[in-house]
A and B are shown apart, each in its own frame.
Chain A
């Protein structure tokens, strides 16, 4: 969990807060926006990848999310967190895409199709000094986790990742997913139960 969400990892402009960057964006400074893109592109890409389970489209949707954020940044209220506002835009972009795909009839939520997709962050497995057998074991474990996550519904998938990986609080997840806190809790409960069922053997052997 990342408890310090006021300063997510890998900031592009060390020491410059989101608030300052947003104010500069609102004054028309595109370089400040570039800094925000650099800071959050990995997180937004991760979200779009996990939600739609298609890496190429996810890259485009992550870009689309930032473009929409730029267009709307004039209306951003400075008393709330930039990242929840940005994640909410990405959430809407992905759900619009899913809805269109659903209408077109070629992206129904068929869990059997998602098993073999590689989820976001596939390249992010630490490549430190590891013995080859250990690295292989880690890669296998990660592939199993990605496959299990892919078998959740988009709502459950997003809720559990925003909680466990992003470390967002319930009210922030509700803000991003545009639902009530009760719905967030329910999604977290069922996502965990499903993942537990899918991964129990894996993590009991791994720990």
Chain B
């Protein structure tokens, strides 16, 4: 029941979102052109987020190295040390600027995704972040964290089929 007066703006947002989707849908082959007046917010850095499926049956595609950032070329082996699965499949990934004053979203899949709020640079490098890990409409965990470049955060998510869904988030170095 959010179609009440105090929420007209959000309704407008949803309608706008629908409109943007519809507009883009009607132009399958064309690139989406961003309105020139949209101001690009200041950024603090860049993160790489990925959703993986870990299992012990090699049914899906293995992770191709060219899909991974330089610092995570050995990601399957490292995940195996924590989650004890033999096979990892990269379901989705997202490279995202972390905005200084606005929330950022890392959405490798609409089933599991992260909201990231920057709380500024950490004293000894890295970035202070507030993270919210969402499963569709439900927030699973809220965390404060300091992410440092090339040092990944593995989030052990829900079990699925014969394995588990795993979210990886890493602050990338500028050159990545």
Contact = CB atoms under 8 A, between A and B. Distances in A.
Contacts of B7: 109, 153
A16 to B, nearest CB: 27
Interface residues of B, number: 18
B1 interface: yes
A185 B99 CA distance: 15
A194 B102 contact: no
B146 to A, nearest CB: 12
A4 interface: no
Chief secondary structure at chain B's binding surface: mixed
B117 A174 contact: yes
Interface string B1-35: 11011110100000000000000000000000000
Interface of B: 1-2, 4-7, 9, 41, 99, 101-103, 117-119, 130, 132, 142
Interface residues of A, number: 21
Contact of B102 (A108, A178, A182): A182
B2 A180 contact: no
Given A151-B6, A179-B103, A183-B103, A109 B117 contact: no
Interface of A: 92, 108-111, 151-153, 156, 171, 174-175, 178-183, 185, 190, 194
A178 B9 contact: no
Contacts of B117: 174, 178-180
Contacts of A179: 103, 117
A190 B119 CA distance: 23
16 contacts: A108-B2, A108-B4, A109-B1, A152-B6, A153-B6, A171-B119, A174-B119, A178-B132, A178-B142, A179-B103, A179-B117, A180-B101, A180-B102, A182-B101, A182-B102, A183-B102
